[in-house]
Amino acid sequence: MSIPKVAGAYWTNNAEGELLIEEMTISLLAARYGTPFFIYDRDVLEQKYLALRHALPGRFSISYSVKANPNPAFLRYFLEKGCGLEIASAGEFHLARNVGCPPEKIIFAGPGKTEAELKLVIAQGIGEIHAESALEIERISAISRKANRPTRVALRVNPNEEGQGGAMLMGGKSAPFGVDEEQMDPLILRIARDPHLEFWGIHLFTGTQILDHNLLLDQYRKALEIGRHAAALVPAPLQTLDFGGGLGIPYFPDDSELDLRQLDAGLKGLVDSIREDCFENTNFMVEPGRFLVGEAGLYVTRITDIKTSRGKKYLILDGGMNHHLAASGNLGQVIKRNFPMAILNKLDARETETVDVVGPLCTPLDTLGRSVRFPAAEVGDLVGIFQSGAYARTASPLGFLSHASPPEVWVEGSCDFLIRRRGNLEDYMQDIHPVGAAL
């Protein structure tokens, strides 16, 4: 057994075959914090951030997509790097403000923004709102007029051409996100002519988990084309052009990493080919989530029971899909494939068994690994799931079966910090109102 190949660049083990997080063994950390828990290595985050920063031409800015991992430690990290934050709810707005993000560095996207959410961000100030529908533009206008405060509005556009080959593509077909390219012209003019709104730019975000740089570059080219069209329509230079997120990370043995060198070269070519004045001072922006944080996180569980049923051996863990829905294959995956996983205290042992790895929930959905090759496992061993920094804890049904929610630990050099406590089981009781009692 060794560290799964897709995660191998970032993690190491000691001579006894135990995973090391910086200089600390995983069993030391598991004893300190209890299992199950999430652990994040700042050094991995730093490698990913710097790799992306160097692959983007200087005029590109980065806004971190908060929903990938909203823990304040991540938000602080990206703020310190000079990034902005991309949010999609009032809750994420509060998180951003609480870590000291200035309102002008926040962009607010996402369908179905409520009146209350729009009022909140307009009253407190916001960098840009990315409008996702005609009605939303009306709402932003009315609220801005009442607040006597013009709001910068970019239009999120659902492009009419579909790139090929990416997972979960959202462009070229019907979508609840943004407005169709065919319908955008009157809406751009509507925003531009409103004294309470400032037409600020164009936003495209059409797919997530894209590992093919050509596909990303096609979308960036498409964004430039739409941006050029919008600027000519208004007519005025474009303030921002948001190319979206969607940069992928490898999860499965046949995934190859996004080729940042090719992306870099392609982007340089794209930027150098720009001749139009309308882009002269445009802030080119990307808003990745997964790429920046996905590989920095590990979900650590302990084996509570081992049993065999009709010839199949099961390792039963103390956490499962309730903490990590994506790893169970139930977060929108069409084909369920195993996330990279390992017995973290047996990384030098030979793989001798084929097992199913399951969580503690009473549902067959709670399967994290199917037919996994593992060394002989024992109760008490630590099973880790790699690539668990993005859309893991935050995208999971934490209340399902009322287990305690898992804590989060941040490792920075030789120091480890608890950055979110384990959920308290008594919290479940406080949510419950006695039947028959007056509210």
Ligand X SMILES: *Cc1c(COP(=O)(O)O)cnc(C)c1O
Per CB under 6 A, 290 contacts ligand X:
yes
User: Which of 288, 319, 340, 384 forms a contact with ligand X (CB under 6 A)?
Assistant: 288
Site for ligand X in 186-205 (CB under 6 A): 205
C-beta separation of 342 from 384 below 8 A: yes
- Toward ligand X, which CB reaches closer, 211 or 355? 211
Give the other-Cβ count within 10 Å of 322's Cβ.
24
> Residue 408: helix, strand or coil by DSSP?
strand
Q: Given the DSSP bridges, would you call strands 197-203 and 240-242 parallel, antiparallel or unpaired?
A: parallel
Pick from 127, 246, 266, 320 the residue near ligand X by CB under 6 A. Answer: 246
Cis peptide before 150 (omega within 30 of 0): no
Q: What part of residues 208-227 is at the interface with ligand X (CB under 6 A)?
A: 208
Smallest gap, in angstroms, from Cβ of residue 246 to ligand X?
4
Which span sits near ligand X by CB under 6 A: 158-166, 256-264, 281-289, 392-400? 281-289
371: left (phi over 0), alpha (psi -120 to 50) or beta: left
Judged by CB under 6 A, which stretch of 24-32, 193-201, 286-294, 356-364 contacts ligand X? 286-294
Q: For residue 360, state whether it binds ligand X (rule: CB under 6 A).
A: no
Considering the rule CB under 6 A, would residue 244 count as an interface residue with ligand X?
Answer: yes
The sign of the torsion formed by the CA atoms of 390, 395, 400, 404 equals: positive
Burial class (CB in 10 A: 0-12, 13-18, 19+), 352: exposed
Residue 287 contacts ligand X per CB under 6 A: yes
Beta carbon of residue 233, minimum distance to ligand X (angstroms, whole number):
23
Give the residue, chosen from 42, 67, 139, 302, that forms a contact with ligand X under the rule CB under 6 A: 67
| Contact window for ligand X (CB under 6 A) among 91-99, 257-265, 284-292, 373-381 | 284-292
Q: How far is the CB of 178 from ligand X (least distance, A)?
A: 9
68 contributes a contact to ligand X by CB under 6 A: yes
Find the shortest distance in angstroms from Cβ 31 to ligand X.
33
- Residue 68 or 211 with smaller CB distance to ligand X: 68
Q: Which is nearer to ligand X, 292 or 303 (CB)?
A: 292
User: Three-state DSSP class for 404?
Assistant: coil
Counting other chains too, the contacts that 93-98 makes at CB distance below 8 Å and 24 or more residues apart are 93/117, 93/120, 93/121, 93/124, 93/126, 95/66, 95/70, 96/66, 97/124, 98/72
Cα first-last separation, the chain:
56
In 111-201, which residue ranges form alpha helices assigned H by DSSP?
115-124, 134-147, 184-192
121-160 mask for ligand X (x: CB under 6 A)? ----------------------------------------
Cβ-proximal residue to ligand X, closest one: 245
389 binds ligand X per the rule CB under 6 A: no
In the set 25, 65, 158, 345, which binds ligand X (CB under 6 A)? 65
What is the rounded CA–CA span in Å between residue 23 and residue 117? 44
By the rule CB under 6 A, 163 interacts with ligand X? no
| Alpha-carbon torsion (263, 268, 269, 270), positive or negative | positive
Residue 261, H or E segment: helix 260-272
DSSP bridge pairs for 10: none
Nearest approach, Cβ of residue 322 and ligand X (Å): 22
Percentages helix, strand, coil for the chain, rounded to the nearest 5? 30, 25, 45
- Fill in the per-residue mask, 71 to 110: x = in contact with ligand X (CB under 6 A), - = not in contact: ---------------x-x--------------------x-
Q: Which residues bind ligand X (CB under 6 A)?
A: 65, 67-68, 86, 88, 109, 205, 208, 244-247, 287-291
